[in-house]
Structures are given as C-alpha cells and as structure tokens.
Amino acid sequence: MHILYICKTLPESYKGGIQTHIWELSKQMIDLGHKVFILTSGSYKIGYKIENIEGRTIYRLPYIPGRRIPLLSIFFEELFFNLAAFKWLKKFYSFYDIIHLQGRSGFLFPSWAIKRNIKNLVITYHSLIHREFLEKLKMKVASIDELLHAKYIGYYERLNYKCANRVIAVSDEAKAQIKIETSCDKKAVIIPNGIIPSKDSLSLRKNEKIKYFTFIGRFEYLKGAHHLPKVATKLLDNIRIVMIGGGPLEKMIRKEVKRNRVEDKFIFTGMLDSAEVNNWISKSFAVIQPSHYETQGIAIMEANNLAKPVIVSKINAFKNVVISGFNGVYLKNVSSNEIAKSINRLAVTPERAETMGQFGKNWIHQMFNWKNIAIQTESLYYELAS
C-alpha cells in the first residue's frame, strides 16, 4: 500500500510523543513492505521540497510562519500549516491508499473528504486540545491565544471524529477524552504508542556517588516542569536533576533555579536527538514525570525500556504503563515536597530501584513493542482498504 502520514513536525525538529510515533510507525510500515510518504512542515523561504530519509518520502510544505505573530502565535502557527496542508491534500489525495492524520495535523481535510465520499481516512488522537485547555484553566495558566486555539481546533477535532473512516486512540485515557468531547467512543480503537526494545543489558548505576534523576519533555505547566527548581532545594546532596527539552517555561525555570541557588543541582541539555536522550537515560538513576496532564507518556516507557524506574504523578494516563511498586513509584500529589521525598527515598534504596527497572524493561517489551503495534495498525489499514 501507499500510505501517507500527515504530521506537522518530525523528531529532527521536536522530539515529542507524536513525532516519535510517526517516525517509528513509518519505519515499521516500510519493513512490512509498504511505501511510506510523510507530509510535514517546511521552510517558507526555501519552498516546497521532497527528500528521502531512510525509505520515507518526505514532503516539506512551506507555509506562513504563524509563530511569529505576537499574542496569537499558537493559533496562527497551527492554522497556517493546516491551510497549506489542506490545499496540498485536495490536489494529491487520490495517489494514496491510506491517508493517516496524526493529532491535529491536516484537521481541515476530513470534513471536505467526507463530502466527496473519500473512504481511506484514518486519524490518530494522541490527546484533545479542549481537554488540555481545561487542565490549563484549572491551573490558571491559560492565555487568550490558547483559548482561541482550543475553541477553533477543538471544534474540528470533534467534527473529524465523525468524518474519519477509522479512529485510533493511543490509550484508554485518550479514548475516554474522545467520549467526553463527542459523547461517543465506539468508533475509536486503542492502539498505543510503542518502543523499540533495547538490546542493551543496562544495570542501575547504584554505586555512583552522583545520582541523576532525569526529566524529559516540554517545559510547561502541564508537564509539571515548574515544580523542579523548588524540588532541588529539598534533595540529598548527591542528587542532580537533568532537564532534557525546552519550551515556554525555560527562562522562568532557569531564573527560579538561580533564585533558589541550586544551579549546581541542575543540568540543562536542551533539545536532543533520540540517541542522546537514551544516553542520558542510561546514565540516570530514574526518570521523573510529575505531569498534571498526559494521555500516555512516551518518556516513562523509554526509561523502562532502558531498565530505569520512574517517578510519576497519579493520573489516568500512566495507569496502563506504570504498575505501582513494580516498575515505578506514584506521587501521592504533585507538589515540590512530595516529588523531593519520592526522589530521596528511591535514591537511598538502590536495590529496590534496580528491581523495578528490570521489571519495567520486561513489562514494556511485552506490552508496547512497535512491531506488534505496526501489525495492529496494518490490519486496520487492510480492513479499511477492503
């Protein structure tokens, strides 16, 4: 089959859950013998560009960079890319056996496609923007830009659920969100994100004097990154926090680190590629994910994949991945005191941490293997194509 994926960004520019998902799924589809094409964002200055990366044909689509518009950058960035993608899809959709939208990428196409009896459209819901916005409202950190974004894009997320021929939710939590937003989840099939099983037999670095606890993700309120500067003031002397990623709160977090005089407790790596992220995980004692909102949690799966235990918030999204006391520890609440206590307790019980890491590796390999996930997705494609 000729399979077209639409995903605004790829791991080369931003390593997030959706980006990892599309890259690994497309690789598995190539291995299964399919022709894979990806429509993604390109440079407005350079123009339209086609290239091949490891068997994938990549269409880099130029669009007006809405992120440069003051106060409404989130909304216009999303809109301008999708207007360009919509124009492209209307012209070329007939060349593909399957058109698979990832998240909000390509959101203007389904309502147009259903009117023309196009029946090869799949959408994967990684999360729903309106649910994210409501969580930000609870925390009193939502902006006018995010309100407009949630209202406009949220409308199309609900509409597209009805228009798609097949719908994939990446977790029970994502499916539950779909039901809340659309009052129906019967169309949604759960096919999770996955991991490539690590062949390395890593042991916990329990005898090293310095113990690294690593945060991986976007520096924003929903991820709980803002708690960590205060957490550092309560940690044992030999503990360091590694911050992998970047985002809107980076300047504030760095400022808080300096204000609390805990610069020696932090390592900021910036954005890293997959190999560099895995290298830091392998050096770590554990991975911490104090999120207020997630739909699955790729970072904690990658940590377990490398035999590292995790410390996570007690939210529904992590229940399919983390078994309390077996491959990780749940926080009683997301606060600086509770996060610090959990880190300190794990740091002084290395044998327990090592046991959890090894259990986690076996668990993740069994439940979230990309090959199995690709086969499930391929079956859905064949069902649709027939």
Co-location of 234 and 185 in the same domain: no
- 164 and 277 in a single domain? The answer is no
- Closest by Cα among 22, 40, 149 to 85: 40
Asked if residue 201 has pLDDT above 80, the reply is: no
344 and 292, same structural domain? Answer: yes
Q: Is 203 domain-assigned?
A: no
Do 163 and 217 belong together in one domain? Answer: no
202 within domain boundaries: no
Return the amino acid letter for 342: S
Same domain, 344 and 377: no
Q: Is residue 241 part of a domain?
A: yes
Q: Is residue 215 located within the same domain as residue 123?
A: no
pTM score of the predicted model: 0.84
Burial string for 98-132 (b: 16+ CB within 10 Å, else e) reads bbbbbbbbbbbbbeebbeeebebbbbbbbbbbbbb
- Give the model's pLDDT for residue 206: 58
Inform me whether the pLDDT recorded for 267 exceeds 90.
yes
Tokens of 362: 């076996």
Helix, strand or coil for residue 360?
helix
- Indicate whether 204 belongs to any domain: no
Per-residue pLDDT of 310-363, as tens digits, reads 999 999 889 889 999 999 999 999 999 999 999 999 999 999 999 999 999 999
Domain count, the chain: 2
Same domain, 363 and 374: no
359 and 380 inside one domain: no
Same structural domain for residues 375 and 336?
A: no
User: Where does the pLDDT of residue 207 fall: very low under 50, low under 70, confident under 90, or very high at 90 and above?
Assistant: low
Question: If pLDDT is split at 50, 70 and 90, which confidence band does 133 have?
Answer: confident
What integer pLDDT is reported at residue 15 of this predicted model? 65
Within a domain: 311: yes
The predicted pLDDT at position 194 comes to 87
Whether 149 and 239 map to the same domain: the answer is no
| Domain identity same for 264 and 130 | no
Is 71 domain-assigned? yes
Q: How far is it, in rounded angstroms, from Cα 124 to Cα 332?
A: 31
Its domain, for residue 323, covers 211-367
- Of 351, 347, 324, 362, the closest CA to residue 201 belongs to 362
Query: Is 131 a residue whose pLDDT tops 90?
Result: no
> Which CATH number fits the domain that encloses residue 309?
3.40.50.2000
Task: Estimate the crossing angle of helix 172-182 against helix 144-163, to 10 degrees.
Answer: 90
- 201 found inside a domain: no
Write the pLDDT tens digit of every residue in 59-76: 999 999 999 999 999 999
Stretch 191-206: mean pLDDT: 73
pLDDT tens sequence across 30-62? 999 999 999 999 999 999 999 999 999 999 999
At 204 the pLDDT is 56
Residue 325 inside a domain? The answer is yes
| Predicted pLDDT of residue 135 | 85
Angle at 295 (CA atoms; ends 34, 135), nearest 5 degrees: 140
CB of 210 closer than 8 Å to CB of 240: yes
SS3 content of the chain, % helix, strand, coil (to 5): 45, 20, 35
Residues 49, 131: one domain?
A: yes
3-state secondary structure of 283: helix
pLDDT recorded at residue 12 = 81
Query: Residue 16 pLDDT more than 80?
Result: no
- In the structure encoding, which two tokens stand for residue 207, read together? 């005898």
